[in-house]
Structure 1
Amino acid sequence: MNAAAAFLPAESKPREVVYELKSVSKTYAMRQIHALDNVNLRLERGSFSSVIGSSGCGKSTLLKIMAGLQSPSAGSVVLAGKPVLGPRRDIGMMFQHATLFPWRTTLENIVLPIEIRDGKQAAAAKHEAGRRLLDLVGLKGFENVYPGELSGGMAQRAAICRMLITEPEVLLLDEPFSALDELSRDFMNMELQRICMARNATAFLVTHSIPEAVILSDVVHVMRPRPGRVVETVAIDLPRPRTLEMITTPYFGALVAHIRSRLDKEAA
């Protein structure tokens, strides 16, 4: 078997496709920028996918289109059988910074999406669900603490709860732990895996870190420079739950090296 064949998706029982992008392209006519070209993606229920590529390859544009924050110039975006034509309740998104409101308690920040969408009474009814989520991410007892009293990692865990409170079909993650130090980032990646497995969540991560993509993902989509297009999908055949010890294994190193070589080839 050659090196490339070693990273082809293994045969397995197909799962339900939750999210699908077909021939998605994006052009910013005013700036004459062709950001994305013919992107095709399928996210299966309960899967964790990542996209990785050089800066400016269109990763953030892709995520905005998937979140319904921008419209594609061509192609279709379908979630749970319905076209994504704008922001939706069944799409959860998490950004690089927690962006918690400092004048609201942790619990009040978590139920904020419900309050904005359905009012204060509906948000109050979700307090118990918010407390269960805090317990899930290891923040039990911090319900009434304000963001200024939380560490960076704790604030990001609260942000995860805020994303999950609306029970979205898919989680879109825009480098959520890039601002953390390396040790905290490793810990939060393992926490994110645990949470996704506990809820059978379908997740899609944008990252610049090859090891982060490999340790978290079932598949890693490699993008070429602008106009962005997926040039290879790498299956990650590591057992779950993943552990940080796997980073030192030869197979993990081979995956990282393969993805890095493909990125280097596309950048040449």
Structure 2
Amino acid sequence: MSQVVQMTATQDDKPAEVRPVYQIERLSKVYPRNGFQALKDVDLTLAKGEFAAVIGSSGCGKSTLLKIMAGLMPPTSGRVMLEERPVMGPRRDIGMMFQQATLLPWKTTLGNVLLPIEMRDGKAAAKAATDRARELLDLVGIGRAENVYPGELSGGMAQRAAICRMLITDPAVLLLDEPFSALDELTRDFMNMELQRICLERHATAFLVTHSIPEAVILADKIYIMDANPGRIVETIHIDLPRPRNLDMINTAKFGEIVHHIREKLGREMYGS
């Protein structure tokens, strides 16, 4: 049975009522070829402007869940709703970011950012969105690299370009599949703070898959802990740390308490201790 835990840092700030953006009810996934049940009775809700994360052991179904949320894979049963419409396949209002930037090497940074519009609406529409793309590149701090090709970008710059490509269509929800896991630790920390800043500025709704407990805690308002075989949510933790957050919070007693609670919970689920 799923539990809900409130990890409170402050008692004065109460969240305002916000509308749900993404809703999943009793979601299950069984692979017909071998009968393996990857997910069972998953329920979650993302509110407007909320940053949620899911964490669990490898093979617990996190990536399967994300693919279903993105419309890349159908569920076996359950209800998947974005902006009160069922998710039946890939949609313009779903932004997706992967572990690798996957930029096209023959296009400039600007061209890669405009690619989703070019593919869906044509070159004329992409050209019309050029100013918008440049604004996004400025937002993430790489405006001067608009004419640079991916081979000349650092890992962090490439991922920032990928963020812009995700945002160019103004998606209702951002789905993030360990987007900074391939980066070195210092760059990853910086990119996490950049991601937080962008989400706060845009009041973006985001859902992050990660193996890093500290990363989940520093970024998320709410963390879903998943168990495996079948994948299911066993606990929901509401993180009431003040925003904007900074890396100094990692050294605080409250942060350590939350990390310890999650690590202990994951250990019990994995080893039954």
Question: If the length of structure 2 is used for normalisation, what is the TM-score?
Answer: 0.95
Structure 2 equivalent of residue 67 of structure 1: 70
Matched, 1:16 2:13: no
Q: String of CA shifts for 1:125-163, please: whole Å, max 9, x gaps.
A: 111000000000000111100001100000000000000
Residues 85/60 of structure 1: CA separation in 2 closer, same or farther (3 Å cut):
same
Query: Which aligned pairs between 1:90-239 and structure 2 lie closer than 5 A?
Result: 90-239=93-242
Residues 14/67 of structure 1: CA separation in 2 closer, same or farther (3 Å cut):
same
Q: String of CA shifts for 1:193-229, please: whole Å, max 9, x gaps.
A: 0000111000000000000000000000000112111
Q: Is the 8 A contact 2:223 2:236 kept in 1?
A: yes
Residues 59/5 of structure 1: CA separation in 2 closer, same or farther (3 Å cut):
closer
Q: Is the 8 A contact 1:95 1:175 kept in 2?
A: yes
Over the matched positions of the two proteins, sequence identity in percent amounts to: 64
**Can you give the 5+ residue segments of structure 1 that lack an aligned partner in the other structure?**
none
Distance 1:6 1:138 in 2: 35
Q: String of CA shifts for 1:14-58, please: whole Å, max 9, x gaps.
A: 210000000000000202210000000000000000000000000
Q: Is the 8 A contact 2:94 2:172 kept in 1?
A: yes
* 2:251 partner amino acid: T
Residues 179/5 of structure 1: CA separation in 2 closer, same or farther (3 Å cut):
closer
Residues 203/6 of structure 1: CA separation in 2 closer, same or farther (3 Å cut):
closer
Q: String of CA shifts for 1:69-113, please: whole Å, max 9, x gaps.
A: 011101000000100000000000000000001110000000000
Give the match's secondary structure for 2:66. Answer: helix
Q: Is the 8 A contact 2:5 2:236 kept in 1?
A: no
* 2:86 partner amino acid: P
Task: Output the aligned Cα RMSD.
Answer: 1.4
Distance 1:188 1:129 in 2: 22
Q: How many residue pairs get matched?
A: 265
Residues 5/90 of structure 1: CA separation in 2 closer, same or farther (3 Å cut):
closer
Q: Is the 8 A contact 1:8 1:234 kept in 2?
A: no
Structure 2 equivalent of residue 7 of structure 1: 7
Give the match's secondary structure for 2:54. Answer: strand
Residues 36/8 of structure 1: CA separation in 2 closer, same or farther (3 Å cut):
farther
Question: If the length of structure 1 is used for normalisation, what is the TM-score?
Answer: 0.97
Q: String of CA shifts for 1:163-199, please: whole Å, max 9, x gaps.
A: 0000000000000000000000000000000000111
* 1:60 partner amino acid: S
Distance 1:60 1:41 in 2: 15
* 2:247 partner amino acid: L
Residues 68/6 of structure 1: CA separation in 2 closer, same or farther (3 Å cut):
closer
Q: Is the 8 A contact 1:48 1:218 kept in 2?
A: yes
Distance 1:179 1:169 in 2: 26
Q: Is the 8 A contact 1:130 1:161 kept in 2?
A: yes
**Can you give the 5+ residue segments of structure 2 that lack an aligned partner in the other structure?**
none
Q: Is the 8 A contact 2:222 2:238 kept in 1?
A: yes
Q: Is the 8 A contact 1:223 1:232 kept in 2?
A: yes
Distance 2:119 2:8 in 1: 44
Distance 1:112 1:140 in 2: 17
Distance 1:147 1:126 in 2: 20
